[in-house]
């Protein structure tokens, strides 16, 4: 049988390691080189956040007797003294798979680079790569993925995510959901009109136990896909009736990153959208939610290509995002910021509102802000030139959307204009100082 020549890689480390650890195969190298290569020039901007995400996973998943050391820009030496034989490689693979799923919504073994190390002196190691075919066997042995074909790892990860959600709630599996929909108005500040309605679930109940409310956060991934696509179908039904009567509005429908990154969710989304008459597509605007920090531009392009044939796309952005290059060139209409998901206090949240607003204008993506709950935050958003504004401070949800309706800025709150002028002055001053 033909043998593949393995190239040995030499790595210098600061912490001296005992030869016994190498004999028990407890030392491995996890290299982010493939992620860096696929990120291209963006690595300089997002590499730090990706390393921080990996280190948070390492700190959470490694056992107390284990340790890691960053050896270079992309290489981490991971030591797992409590393992032997293949157990150490499986532990490192589990961590790498979680990182890949966090960044891309699924895990392809071809994108994981793990090396097994051998002793080469107290502060030097040699290592060779564990190839994807071997990783596939390790994944099966460690039951990391639940798919029949471990190379289709994204499907396995989603199954694990479903199972984790299901373990959070006791009782039998739900056979169905009863969903009541509502429409949340979105205000176009530039034209001072309610132009768009966001179709969301007002309530979700367990079909097997009438009256039992199910929180959105407690849904399995399959159930979440069902709810999101039910909002699309219900919203298009209302849009169809409105267009027949001559009343026009834009329909916005939230679709989560995880839904589009799981094979089942992506297939169901495509099947549902292909069944919609093309006449409705100019009036549909998908809100791509829960995008994690550090998603590469190529991944964003893939997501845009899935959605854009069926409508406009607004992509969510985290307040901790400092580089918006991944949003360029994908055909997005805007990007959306949700301050209700931020932590760290009011001052930090307001600073992030201003920064995302400036980034939206700089990238010519008229920014959108979600779940604005008070007049002061609304004033900050207006001063930061958000074009689309949504939340209780704008208008309450309704059961039936109306045609585009004028809503003047000074009617939103008595003190709004004065506060907006003050905030606009702060925004101009901050831009000049920057």
Q: Over the stretch 174-190, which tens digit does the pLDDT of each residue have?
A: 878 999 999 999 999 88
Q: Is 355 helix (H, G, I), strand (E, B) or coil?
A: helix
pLDDT at 292: 80
Distance CA 207, CA 184 (A): 25
pLDDT at 184: 96
How much is the average pLDDT of 289-312? 87
How much is the average pLDDT of 14-21? 89
Protein fold of 9-167: Alpha-Beta Plaits (3.30.70)
pLDDT at 2: 37
Could you tell me the CATH superfamily of domain 177-433? Answer: EAL domain (3.20.20.450)
- pLDDT exceeds cutoff 70 at 124: yes
pLDDT at 155: 38
pLDDT at 216: 86
- Structure tokens, 349: 């949240």
pLDDT at 424: 56
Distance CA 304, CA 334 (A): 12
pLDDT at 166: 41
- pLDDT exceeds cutoff 70 at 63: yes
How much is the average pLDDT of 401-406? 90
Please provide the size of the chain in residues: 434
Residue 286: which of 255, 264, 261 has the closest Cα? 255
- pLDDT exceeds cutoff 80 at 434: no
How much is the average pLDDT of 339-360? 87
pLDDT at 172: 53
Distance CA 46, CA 323 (A): 7
Residue 389: which of 242, 187, 247 has the closest Cα? 187
Mean pLDDT of the chain: 83
pLDDT at 148: 38
- pLDDT exceeds cutoff 70 at 361: yes
Domain locations along the chain: 9-167, 177-433
pLDDT at 3: 38
Give percent of the chain above pLDDT 90.
36
């Amino acid at each position: 049988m033909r043998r593949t020549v393995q190239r040995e890689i030499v790595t210098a480390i600061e912490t001296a390691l005992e030869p016994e650890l190498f004999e028990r195969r407890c030392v491995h190298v996890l290299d982010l080189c493939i992620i860096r290569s696929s990120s291209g020039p963006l690595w300089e901007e997002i590499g730090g956040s990706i390393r921080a995400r990996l280190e948070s996973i390492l700190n959470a998943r490694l056992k107390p007797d284990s340790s890691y050391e960053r050896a270079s820009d992309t290489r981490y030496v991971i030591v797992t003294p409590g393992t032997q034989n293949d157990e150490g490689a499986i532990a490192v693979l589990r961590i790498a798979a979680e990182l890949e799923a966090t960044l891309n919504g699924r895990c392809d073994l071809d994108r994981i680079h793990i090396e097994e190390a051998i002793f080469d002196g107290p502060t030097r190691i040699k290592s060779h790569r564990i190839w994807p075919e071997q990783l596939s066997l390790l994944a099966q042995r460690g039951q990391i993925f639940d798919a029949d074909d471990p190379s289709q790892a994204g499907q396995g990860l989603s199954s694990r995510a479903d199972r984790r959600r299901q373990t959070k709630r006791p009782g039998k599996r739900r056979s169905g959901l009863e969903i009541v929909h509502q429409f949340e108005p979105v205000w176009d500040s530039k034209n001072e009109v309610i132009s768009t309605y966001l179709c969301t679930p007002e309530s979700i109940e367990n079909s097997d136990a009438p009256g039992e409310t199910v929180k959105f956060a407690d849904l399995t991934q399959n159930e979440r896909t069902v709810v999101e696509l039910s909002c699309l179908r219900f919203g298009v039904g209302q849009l169809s009736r409105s267009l027949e009567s001559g009343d026009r509005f834009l329909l916005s429908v939230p679709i989560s990153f995880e839904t589009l990154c799981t094979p089942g969710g992506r297939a169901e989304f495509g099947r549902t959208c292909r069944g919609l008459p093309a006449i409705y597509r100019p009036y549909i605007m998908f809100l791509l939610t829960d995008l994690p920090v550090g998603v590469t531009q190529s991944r964003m392009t893939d997501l845009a290509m899935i959605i854009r044939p069926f409508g406009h796309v607004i992509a969510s952005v985290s307040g901790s995002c400092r580089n918006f290059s991944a949003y360029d060139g994908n055909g997005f209409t805007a990007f959306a910021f949700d301050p209700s998901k931020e932590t760290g206090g009011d001052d930090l949240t307001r600073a992030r509102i201003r920064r995302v607003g400036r980034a939206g204008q700089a990238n010519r993506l008229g920014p959108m802000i979600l779940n604005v709950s008070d007049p002061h935050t609304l004033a900050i958003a207006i001063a930061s030139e958000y074009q689309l504004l949504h939340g209780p401070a704008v208008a309450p949800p309704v059961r039936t959307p109306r045609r585009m309706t004028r809503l003047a800025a000074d009617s939103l709150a008595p003190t709004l204009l004065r506060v907006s002028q003050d905030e606009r002055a702060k925004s101009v001053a901050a831009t000049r100082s920057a």
